[in-house]
Chains A and B, each alone.
Chain A
């Protein structure tokens, strides 16, 4: 591109030749800004070989800018090949006015905060609604067992329960090992190594076994529920079920949540046993506490109530994980993006809810003295 500035009949005349397009845009704009324009000026494009829409845009916006400054820029002799383009750009430029965004005010911030709070309340109400749906369908299934999807329940028990056994057992085993190792180093200076048995048993049975199991299941199963139900929602399978008079709550939600309620306590028990095994092995290796000794201390020093306190939480965790996962699945819209967003939100919400409920249980048990 080259821009030549001359005069004809006492008026400035700007000649642009070569190519005017996106690559030359900023250069051309700078040239325009430097050029002194009189009240009238002519832009001669007869030698222009190539013009793209960015180039046409520049010419037309410069013309508009100069008009505001009181200069009349006449675009003359547009080559025929560029004429339709200039017309299209001119026609669409009129519509292309910069959008104004509303400024961020205190009122807007308060408004946003209010909406978030209301959204949070609506979310809790929604969860309660799903708990209600689950309960209603469960009672319905008890009254009319023929409508219950037993095959589905068995399938989900395998999926969320049996298949989670290896990861849960390994996790609990390692936690037992870590507790024994840490306990040993902390208790040895006091000569109180033998109490490591109580340390391991009470912390795993009361808290860690079931809590960590629930967290793993929340990550594994809540996301699976959301993804499965959500992709059905996305492909309108849920709508198809409704038109075929199949109740999605009965067919999809009830067996999933029920499977979790049944299997999570079992998984918790597996975690307890595996954690104790890990702790016992590490105590034997590190502290020389023989398995027989470990067993004796365990039976004499640790009351069975700790197991109950731990496992009684399991069905509640299962309910909340299942409800959060299923609800998120039903919230999926028709885009793959919303499926991804709801899946990750389900996992985060489920884990958070598990920890909150565990804290509430701790307060409850402290109050009743267990």
Chain B
């Protein structure tokens, strides 16, 4: 461990290109241990591309990404696999394996743990399913039989299977009704506290930002335009940031949001 132990993610000069189209250029971003970092930006600003670059699903064209103080570019496969066990990713629609039941889905990461007997694995998977607030009779159903909200929760249970230190959430509340989205925000807040998670949260949802995030990073103009708390964001003089946080939805979320963390 280096001195930058408190920075779980450190990105410097990241560049991502799709043909002639530059998505990121000279992007810098830090994420501290134990914080919930919300990443926002308009459509096409490369929020998901950033997430995919960090977890190694996409090789960046240039720049350096360090996770837990370890350089991710040019790392060998074994080291990468060991690091990957310390984070979990929840994809937009859960990305559950459709041929496996929900419990088997959550068991997939646990199968990699040496010497774990099957009964323990079942029990731990069921514990995780209960922890994300799914009814236990859902454990034996297949993803196609579940609603979108339940699939997202199941995806979260699979991401949490190994008790990761960082959780990456890609649009966790997209496609949920407001009640379901609020319930998901509450669930995340409780889990972040109980499990001591660091969360990298890509979202459009202002309510989620106000309910969950310690810090926000705004992606615009191919880089991280501003980082800071939500209050800091209100002072940023950039047209997109102004429209986003001062628009009618932003104002509404601000009114209802900050009270929520205390009102548990």
B136–A96 CB distance below 8 A? yes
Question: Which residues of chain A have C-beta atoms less than 8 A from B140's C-beta?
Answer: 99, 101
B window 160-216: CB within 8 A of A? 160, 162-163, 190-191, 193-196
Residues of chain A contacted by B190 (CB below 8 angstroms): 88
Q: Within 8 Å of chain A (Cβ to Cβ): is B144?
A: yes
B116 interface residue (CB < 8 Å to A): yes
State which residues 80-102 of A face B: CB under 8 Å: 81, 84-85, 87-89, 92-93, 95-99, 101
Report the Cα distance A338→B98, complex, angstroms: 10
A57 on interface, CB distance cutoff 8 Å: yes
**Cβ of B124 under 8 Å from chain A:** yes
| Interface residue? A52 (CB, 8 A) | yes
Once the chains are docked, how many angstroms separate the CA of A84 from the CA of B130? 16
Of chain B, the residue at the smallest CB distance from A93 is: B127
Measured in the bound complex, the distance between the Cα atoms of B127 and A87 in whole Å is 13
Chain B: which residue is nearest A53 at the CB level?
B163
Cβ of A333 within 8 Å of any chain B Cβ, yes or no, is yes
The interface centre, meaning the residue of A22, A23, A52 with most chain B CB atoms within 10 A of its CB, is A22
> Bound state CA distance, A23 and B113, in angstroms?
7
Q: Which residues of A contact B115 (CB under 8 A)?
A: 26
In the complex, B237 has a CB within 8 A of chain A: no
Most buried by A among B127, B139, B160: B127
Tell me whether A26 and B139 are in contact (CB under 8 A). no
Q: Contacts A26-B115, A81-B196, A99-B139 given: A53-B144 contact, CB under 8 Å? A: no
Contact in complex: B194, A85 (CB < 8 Å): yes
Q: Which size class do A's interface residues fall under?
A: 20 to 34
Task: Mark A338-364 against chain B: 1 for CB-CB distance below 8 A, else 0.
Answer: 100000000000000000000000000
* Complex CA distance for A230 and B117, rounded to whole angstroms: 42
Q: Are A52 and B163 in contact (CB under 8 A)?
A: yes
B124: which of A57, A95, A335 is its contact (CB, 8 Å)? Answer: A57
The prevalent SS among residues of A at the interface is helix
Q: How large is the interface on B (under 10, 10 to 19, 20 to 34, 35 or more residues)?
A: 20 to 34
Contacts of B122 in A (CB 8 A): 98
B residues less than 8 Å from A87 (CB atoms): 194
Chain B residues near A92: list those with CB within 8 A. 127, 130-131
The digit string for B102-138, where 1 denotes a CB below 8 A from any CB of A, is 0000000010010111001011101111110000110
Question: Which residues of B sit under 8 angstroms from A21, Cβ to Cβ?
Answer: 163
Closest chain B residue to A340 by CB distance? B98
Name the residue of chain B whose CB is nearest to the CB of A29.
B120
Is A69 among interface residues, defined by CB-CB distance under 8 A? no
> Do B116 and A95 touch across chains, with their CB atoms under 8 A apart?
no
In the assembled complex, which residues on chain A have CB atoms less than 8 Å from the CB atom of B191? 88
From B116, B117, B131, B139, A22 is in contact (CB under 8 Å) with: B116
- In the bound complex, CA of A57 to CA of B131 (Å): 12
Please provide the chain A residues from 36 to 50 with a CB less than 8 Å away from any CB of chain B in the complex.
none
Q: Residues 1-24 of chain A: 1 if any B CB is under 8 Å from the residue's CB, otherwise 0? A: 000000000000000000001110
A101 to B137 alpha-carbon distance, docked (Å): 11
Q: List, in ascending order, chain B residues with CB within 8 A of A89's CB.
A: 127, 131
27 pairs from A and B in contact (CB 8 Å cutoff): A21-B163, A22-B124, A22-B162, A23-B113, A25-B113, A25-B116, A52-B163, A53-B160, A53-B195, A54-B124, A54-B163, A84-B193, A84-B194, A85-B194, A85-B195, A88-B190, A88-B194, A89-B127, A89-B131, A92-B127, A92-B130, A93-B127, A96-B127, A99-B136, A99-B140, A336-B98, A337-B144
